[in-house]
Amino acid sequence: MIPGSPATASMRRLLTDLGESGRTGALHVGGTPGGVLYLTAGRITYAETPARPGIGERLVSSGRLSPHTWRAAYAEGRGSHRVGRVLLRDGRLGQNELTLRVVAVIADAAHELLQQDDAPARFVPGERHWLGEVAGVDLGALGHRTAVRLRAAPGPRRPRSRPVALTGP
């Protein structure tokens, strides 16, 4: 799929509408691989898809956090949607580092989701991610980053990274 194709444009239009109206909730995108974009006041605060590693997988596989440390923070914070705040509170990560890592996760997942052909999507108002609000990505900037990635991608898709097995996401 190329930037500006009908499927990409319709998904971007939907995200733009949600952003401009300042919506908070989760946009569930069906299809393969599918995923979810989480918005707070119209900004994407997290995105996930089984095709790309999430924040926990990235922190553990890079050696930045031990599996034990990640599991403890996840167990403590997931029910109250504040895993990110637990990591910051305990000094496991700094605000800037966590923000940059979350933005990278959002960009990777959104890149994957915006490539899907006519995927069904449904918005669930008020639904939040267990990480909590750590960073927000402006939808206009996300569209530009995704367009650049799509133009640079060799062939129809880029190779996907292998996930690291964790007990929590």
Contact 34, 42 (CB under 8 A): no
* Residues 36-78 pLDDT 10s: 999 999 999 999 999 999 999 999 999 999 999 999 999 999 9
Q: What residue numbers bound the domain in which 58 lies?
A: 6-152
Residue 26 lies in a domain: yes
Q: Which long-range contacts link 85-91 to residues 24+ away (Cβ below 8 Å)?
A: 85/132
Residue 137 lies in a domain: yes
For residue 161, what pLDDT band results from cuts at 50, 70 and 90?
very low
* Residues 85-122 pLDDT 10s: 999 999 999 999 999 999 999 999 998 988 876 788 99
Please state the domain count of the chain. 1
Residue 164 lies in a domain: no
Residue 122 lies in a domain: yes
For residue 3, what pLDDT band results from cuts at 50, 70 and 90?
very low
Residue 30 lies in a domain: yes
Per-residue confidence (pLDDT) for residue 16, from 0 to 100: 86
Residue 157 lies in a domain: no
Residue 166 lies in a domain: no
Dihedral class, residue 93 (left if φ above 0, else alpha if ψ from -120 to 50, else beta): beta
Residue 167 lies in a domain: no
